[in-house]
Chain A
Amino acid sequence: MRRATMVAGVLVTALALTACAIPRERAAEDLRPAKIAVAPVEVEDVVAKYREVRSAAVDALDAKPLSTVEAGPVLAVDTGTFEVAELLEREEFALDGPFTVETTMLPRFSRYPLWFAALVRDEETGRRQLQVYERTTAADPWLLTANPELAGDTPLPEMRRVGDATRRVGVDDGAGMAAAPLTALQALAAALDEPEAEESAAWAEDPFVVQMRETATKNAELEGSNFAQSWAADEQVYALRTADGGALVFGTLLRQDTFDVEAGLRVTWPEDSPQRAFWPDGVVGRGSLRYYHQVLVRVPPAGSNESAATLGTFGGVVGSAGQ
């Protein structure tokens, strides 16, 4: 019996050793093109390159190099921030020290554009940003397109993963969720745009909404001018499925603040404010500032007692009109 076992073992081993790398034809259903946005080991390289270029831009207080590593609202906000910093002779924060990628969310794609998210903690400041990098075509570099910063140690929900890949959600796909990703962002914009509307009540206690309403209230109290504010949701949205069936949504809200100054008056703002940077001599007549606010919104699954909420934000002035 022992002899038989030995012979069988020799045969099995010989066959296994020779068969382990034998070419085989892949099944037809496996031939569809697909890939995870980026290999997990390459995420740190992408983040490190971004921080290196941003650091150089901050050192030179010149936003031009940022266009090689940023795009869309992030580039617009950073360009605006640099402009304000330059006008106010203020130092911009570099975020160029050591960092840790705490977690990655790597969706699978069958065609470009590709994108992924990485939660990056700056070791010097402890700031945590859930950054989205996008590659439009295979000939383009990775560009930072969303950069919401989490407040403190705000925990992120568990994501739904299949192997190394994180599940995506279509921007209009509300199946199994309280709302589709784009719809949730539009509801948030509507809550900011019309605080008195009945639908806005669901967002009344959201920290971002509270902060924005306070700012709007202060602006409205400015003597000698009429203040108006409008909000809208940009259609560029990234959404990932959470383990509980909800979604984590990255979006951008467009905000416009308009000041109508009463005839014969000139309104000036305190030093160190964005308004002072764009209107150093104050505003006569009408002036408006445009802002981008990137938000990270948690959309709960359908039937949940939770309501949608912002987990992180990033924004700033991107343009002005009037004098």
Chain B
Amino acid sequence: MNETEAVPVPAPAEVEENYLSAGHTVRSWLLTTDHKRIGLLYLFSIIFFFAIAAVAAAIMRLELLTPPGDLVLSATYNKLFTLHGVIMVWFFLIPSIPNVLGNFLIPMMIGARDVAFPKLNLLSWYLFMAGGLLALHAIIVGGVDTGWTFYTPYSSRYSNTHTVEMALGIFLSGFASILTGLNFIITVHEMRAPGLTWFRLPLFIWSHYATSLILVLATPVLAITLLLMMLERIWGLGIFDPRLGGDPVLFQHLFWFYSHPAVYIMILPSMAVVSELIPCFSRKRIFGYKFIAFASMAIAVLGFVVWGHHMFVSGQSVYAGMIFSILSFIVAIPSGIKVFNWTATLHRGSISFETPMLYALGFIGLFSLGGLTGLFLAALAVDVHVTDTYFVVAHFHYIMVGGTVLAFMGGIHFWWPKITGRMYPEKLGQLAALVTFIGFNLTFFPQFVMGYLGMPRRYHAYAPEFQIYHVLSTAGATILGVGYLLPVIYLLWSLRHGKKAGANPWGATGLEWQTPSPPPVHNFAEVPRVTGEPYDYSPQEEEKKAEDDHA
């Protein structure tokens, strides 16, 4: 536990209202500058967008149940996978953990009353919503068929769909990302509680700091790239179209300069959550704190020099391909360090299998599998074989769903008592975690096999020999759907009927657990003073306690 010097407990009359009861009007939510409420606004928004993208995925999986294209037209299928990709990447995965849990927790974890710029934080949500609704409008009026990557000159010249409007939506939401990243960086630099030195910070903060650096450094490049694409489409400015003297591969360079680090925008916050869950449910200090902290920074930096591995067959030079291949292998090292450190933390820990821990363990397994198949794709020759096949689809879903979504679910369950002041039903939580794990693997593991055998991605009709894999995958997606729906139901139920949670139901360390649940508007009655190291769990004490209980 981060030891604190006598945090004064206010007398009942002085107890500040909690952030949920501080106002019940719509206005009090829409004009709030409270980081916790903004976190919840993001939570509602991303669940809304997730539902839309999930429906698109469900229709695609139904279409793929049989080899001929018999449910939707090929053009509709193109629009469905574009919708799924765009909404999931920019309106669910990227904001999922940083903007919901990060917003909610970062100020509390560092002993601050809010983020550095609360109004900018609210503006960020409005930009995000404006971007999201613009993208949604583009979908409703006819959709986009370019795939989430918007490759030129297809997007800038040939596509007859609403690429400009969709790109504008992403452009706007990018500014939301930049503002959030900026806010987090300055908050961590300027607003840490007295005594909370850099190496006493929770690893959640380190990972989010690294994520914020990527958000600030990479997102402007996406904005510029999409803007150039729009200018080429609207005014025929020759940037990417060879007919106008442009170069389509340049688009890919610029796009992946953002979009590969964007993978780390998704996975670093997931690692942040897992680094909190593993020590708590192992009742053990995290193994190799500094290694994990520096690995986050290394991932943030190295993530910027590997983008060319998305372009091995794009016409990029073979020499550049070799450079990017080698660099891509290097980025596996810090990820490996983290996995080994989490595993070492488990070793001789007093492990319990509450719901968040199940998600965290699932994360380690699935992220490892996703990461290791990433090495296949980093190898030039293998990549040529599996480019644009389901192998790639399976790989990035293991990272994004097996990694980010599982960590997000684990984090939501872990901090649910803090956010709402209520416990969720534990048994149902464990069941949902298992259902999600099984459903996920059944959905995506067969895709590795069929991809390696030659099933291309982005086709609505396919050769009959692949049907068995698609049937398994669709069956898995159904189970996965149940795994997602269950938490929605019991978490909503728990808001009214859940057992009341105390300030620290998990016996966790960290400043956020030293304030009531739900937290008061200004988080702490008095600014805490930190004097101890983070993750001060002690398995010996736990064992002694268990023995005493047994006796």
* A, B assembled together: no
Binding site for A on B (CB under 8 A): none
Binding site for B on A (CB under 8 A): none
